[in-house]
């Protein structure tokens, strides 16, 4: 091993550790289109121009053939795409577009990516196939500062680096040289202060004793990403058509997308290891004194590279698993949203065609309402799942009458199940009705279980709800809720995934078993958040048994309270504060149809001014949106309560908002509001609360 081989290996280790994420191409591993497959079959050998004399990235071997890191990657792209490449070296110096078209080149490689600049010039480039750091090379005595007035040697034709350096370091003077060796010679002789080049290439050239006095100094703030560029016709009548270039780049991008990070890393290391500068006998003798140290350190570097490659492979596998899960989630989510939206659009069209048929219109309206309610349940379930996964779920602990909760849920489920022709049996034995629990979440889980049983039990089947209690050693009450059905049942394999989001067994899809596919996943997470457990037992074709168990402290029943009389009885004027024009129009017409006198405000400040200027007692109710421009609903409610007039403290203010989290409710009540109505508004609930 040699000192400069060590330096190359260290450079590779640094580049791989730092830049491996940057090598990930933007193109996904997609299938080729019919048009692309036809292009591949008919293209024949494609002439590919490459930059030579850039070992170990690209250069000519002893047979005059392309070699180096790029060759490994290009051959892999050709194999994956089915394209055939004919590699031809480009001349030194600035290569013109006329030269490329006249010589029949289809592609040029080692083009540095700068999409903004290239798009402005109409140049078609692929995703990057190789990335590395650009480094600064200077003499040992160079005092390098970014604000210095320095001359920089760069190879002719490096348009991208010229633009980047010109923007980042305006004090630099850029000097063109035909080749890398010319640049290094200029720096060595003092004709230029420094050179900027690809790190892999620099490490190769600095292995030569000729450049012993040069060093690598701090990295320039830019990386080099190498791409293919298609040679297309710019209106001259010479070169491939623009659309052929776009097809070719698309094919190459898909091939690049199939090359794993492990392969890129292996090609890079192989290129560095196989294409180090070959030392002469004199070079070896000169460096013999450091041989023992080099061998020891090289062994450590190789071990470090192995660890890095292993970690990179693990990260790549995890990233692919995450990407697959995200893709499945988005695909399912798209299906769940688009299906009911398709129904709504179809119903709207049918209603527009049947305006003279009230019976048909009435039926369509019932169907559209049911579809809208499904979409609302989907949104609610998604928000619940999002809050659970972000650990923002709020589990309350308040005195809860479990007997009242369970019987209420059972009565709701009974009507639905019996309408489907399903027998519903209950066995409720609650010895300690009052416990400290979250009634909303407990009821949510129980209703999900009953709803799930109803969906997968056929007509003539049976659903059973059993509830019982026990006591733990610490005095807490254990409440168990068991829902059993004799319906379709689940396979043993699917039971492992039944609590995953959107989980559905294949033979239950498209058989009328509508639902968001999130109910059981949410219930499972909520049960865990309450310190409880949700489990399942099922047999295919025989039915399923879900058991929800949770602990809770014993609670004292609250003292009975006399109901408060309404603050503003009667059909007084209603002030509606709503910034959305369509919502204002709907609310106005809805309330006007019920016989109310309406005032409309477009924001919170206007609502405050309308109330301030109204006669005392004229406005008996305010429906307040929470998120509005100029002044939001919270601030407007506080401002109204602080007004110096007798009805400011008694006027009813009801929040009417799409912000439905528990924290939004608390903020509304803290701001002085009396009640809360979530959007989309349930009209019957609204009319009930305003006293229609």
Mean pLDDT of 482-502: 84
Contact call for residues 582 and 555 (beta carbons, < 8 A): no
What integer is the mean pLDDT of 275-301? 50
Average pLDDT over residues 374-385: 65
pLDDT, mean of residues 310-320: 61
Q: What CATH number labels 3-129+226-280?
A: 3.40.190.10
What pLDDT sits at residue 388?
65
User: Which pLDDT score is estimated for 225?
Assistant: 82
pLDDT in tens, 57-105: 888 887 888 888 888 898 999 999 999 999 999 887 777 778 888 888 8
Spatial separation of the C-alpha atoms in residues 300 and 5, rounded to whole Å: 14
Instruction: Flag the least confident range among 113-122, 249-258, 651-660.
Output: 113-122
The predicted structure's pLDDT at residue 13: 39
The pLDDT tens digits of the residues spanning 545-558 come to: 999 999 999 998 88
Decide if domain 398-552 falls under CATH 3.30.565.10.
yes
- Match 């809860």 to its residue by tokens: 400
pLDDT value at residue 165: 73
d(CA 107, CA 629): 54
| DSSP single-letter state for residue 212 | T
Burial of 650 (0-12, 13-18, 19+ CB in 10 A): exposed
Res. 214: pLDDT tops 60: yes
- The β-bridge partners of 59 are 67
Q: By C-alpha distance, which of 643, 637, 609, 644 is closest to 622? A: 637
**pLDDT score of 424:** 94
With cut-offs at 50, 70 and 90, classify the pLDDT of residue 222: low
Residues of the chain above pLDDT 90, percent? 23
Smallest CA-to-CA distance from 449 within 486, 417, 484 is with 484
How high is the pLDDT of residue 612?
A: 93
Residue 543 vs residues 202, 462, 464, 490: alpha-carbon distances, Å: 70, 10, 11, 7
Query: How high is the pLDDT of residue 563?
Result: 58
* CATH no., domain 131-223: 3.40.190.10
**pLDDT score, position 381:** 65
Q: Which helix (H) or strand (E) holds 401?
A: strand 398-401
CATH of 573-690, one of 3.40.50.2000, 3.40.50.720, 3.40.50.2300, 3.40.190.10: 3.40.50.2300
Summarize the confidence of residues 266-282 as an average pLDDT: 68
Q: What are phi and psi of 655, to 5 degrees?
A: -70, 130
Angle between helix 358-389 and 291-353 (nearest 10):
160
Give 137 or 483, the one with higher predicted confidence: 483
pLDDT at 492: 85
**What is the average pLDDT score of the chain?**
78
Q: Report whether pLDDT(561) > 90.
A: no
Residue 207 pLDDT > 90: no
Looking at residue 12, its pLDDT comes to: 47
Average pLDDT for residues 262-287, to the nearest whole number? 67
The pLDDT score that the predictor gives to residue 567 is: 47
pLDDT bracket for residue 1 (50, 70, 90): very low
Q: Is 660 exposed, middle or buried (0-12, 13-18, 19+ CB in 10 A)?
A: middle
The reply to whether 131-223 shares the fold of 3-129+226-280 is yes
**Distance (Å, rounded) from C-alpha 435 to C-alpha 402?**
7
Query: Per-residue DSSP letters for 274-340?
Result: HT-----HHHHHHTGGGHHHHHHHHHHHHHHHHHHHHHHHHHHHHHHHHHHHHHHHHHHHHHHHHHH
Residue 551: per-residue pLDDT: 93
Domain ranges of the chain: 3-129+226-280, 131-223, 398-552, 573-690
Q: How many CA atoms does the CB half-sphere of 311 hold within 13 Å? A: 12
pLDDT given at position 292: 40
pLDDT of 160-175, one tens digit each?
A: 667 667 777 788 888 8
Mean pLDDT of 123-134: 83
């Amino acid at each position: 091993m040699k000192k400069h081989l060590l330096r190359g290996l260290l450079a590779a280790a640094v580049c791989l550790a730092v830049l491996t994420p940057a090598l990930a191409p933007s193109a996904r591993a997609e299938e080729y289109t019919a048009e692309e497959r036809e292009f591949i079959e008919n293209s024949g050998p494609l002439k590919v121009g490459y930059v030579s004399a850039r070992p170990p990235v690209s250069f000519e071997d002893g047979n005059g053939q392309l070699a180096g890191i790029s060759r490994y990657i290009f051959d892999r792209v050709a194999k994956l795409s089915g394209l055939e490449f004919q590699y031809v070296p480009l001349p030194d110096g600035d290569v013109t577009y006329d030269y490329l078209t006249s010589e029949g080149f289809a592609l040029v490689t080692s083009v540095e990516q700068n999409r903004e600049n290239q798009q402005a010039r109409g140049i078609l480039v692929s995703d990057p196939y190789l990335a590395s750091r650009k480094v600064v090379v200077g003499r040992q005595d160079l005092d390098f500062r970014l604000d210095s007035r320095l001359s920089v040697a760069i190879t002719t034709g490096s348009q991208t680096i010229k633009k980047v350096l010109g923007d980042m370091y305006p004090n630099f003077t850029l000097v063109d040289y035909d080749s890398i060796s010319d640049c290094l010679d200029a720096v060595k002789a003092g004709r230029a202060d420094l050179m900027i080049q690809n790190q892999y290439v620099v490490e190769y050239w600095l292995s030569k004793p000729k450049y012993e006095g040069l060093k690598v100094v701090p990295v320039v703030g830019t990386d080099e990403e190498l791409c293919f560029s298609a040679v297309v016709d710019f209106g001259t009548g010479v070169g491939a058509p623009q659309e052929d270039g776009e097809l070719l780049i698309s094919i190459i991008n898909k091939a690049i997308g199939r090359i794993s990070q492990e392969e890129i890393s292996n090609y890079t290391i192989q290129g560095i290891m196989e294409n180090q500068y070959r030392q002469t006998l004199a070079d070896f003798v000169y460096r013999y004194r450091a041989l023992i140290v080099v061998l020891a350190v090289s062994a450590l570097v190789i071990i470090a590279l192995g660890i890095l490659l292993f970690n990179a492979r693990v990260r790549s596998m995890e990233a692919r698993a995450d990407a697959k899960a995200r893709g499945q989630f988005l695909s399912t989510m798209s299906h769940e949203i688009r299906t009911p939206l398709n129904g709504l659009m179809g119903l709207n069209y049918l209603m527009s065609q049947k305006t003279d048929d009230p019976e048909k219109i009435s039926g369509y309206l019932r169907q559209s309402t049911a579809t809208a309610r499904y979409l609302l349940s989907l949104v609610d379930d998604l928000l619940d799942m999002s809050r659970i996964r972000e650990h923002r779920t709020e589990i309350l602990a308040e005195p809860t009458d479990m007997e009242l909760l369970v019987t209420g849920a059972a009565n709701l489920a009974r009507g639905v199940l019996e309408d489907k022709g399903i027998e519903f049996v209950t066995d409720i034995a609650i010895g300690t009705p009052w416990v400290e629990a979250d009634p909303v979440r407990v009821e949510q889980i129980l209703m999900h279980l009953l709803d799930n049983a109803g969906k997968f039990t056929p007509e003539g089947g049976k659903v059973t709800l059993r509830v019982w209690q026990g006591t733990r050693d610490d005095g807490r009450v254990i409440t168990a809720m068991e829902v059993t059905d004799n319906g379709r049942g689940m396979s043993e394999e699917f039971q492992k995934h039944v609590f995953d989001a959107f989980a559905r067994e294949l033979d239950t899809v498209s058989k009328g078993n509508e639902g968001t596919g999130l109910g059981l996943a949410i219930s499972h997470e909520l049960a865990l958040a309450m310190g409880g457990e949700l489990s399942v037992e099922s047999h295919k074709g025989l039915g399923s048994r879900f058991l929800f168990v949770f602990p809770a402290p014993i609670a004292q029943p609250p003292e009975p309270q006399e109901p408060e009389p309404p603050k503003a009885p009667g059909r007084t004027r209603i002030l509606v504060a709503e910034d959305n024009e369509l919502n204002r129009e709907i609310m106005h017409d809805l309330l006007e149809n019920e016989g109310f006198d309406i005032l409309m405000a477009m924001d919170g400040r206007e609502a405050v001014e309308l109330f301030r200027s109204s006669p005392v007692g004229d406005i008996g109710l305010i429906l307040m949106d929470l998120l509005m421009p100029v002044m939001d609903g919270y601030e407007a409610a506080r401002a109204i309560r602080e007004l110096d007039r007798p009805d400011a403290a008694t006027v009813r203010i009801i929040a009417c908002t799409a912000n439905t989290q528990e924290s939004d409710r608390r903020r509304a009540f803290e701001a002085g509001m009396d009640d809360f109505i979530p959007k989309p508004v349930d009209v019957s609930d609204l009319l009930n609360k305003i006293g229609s």
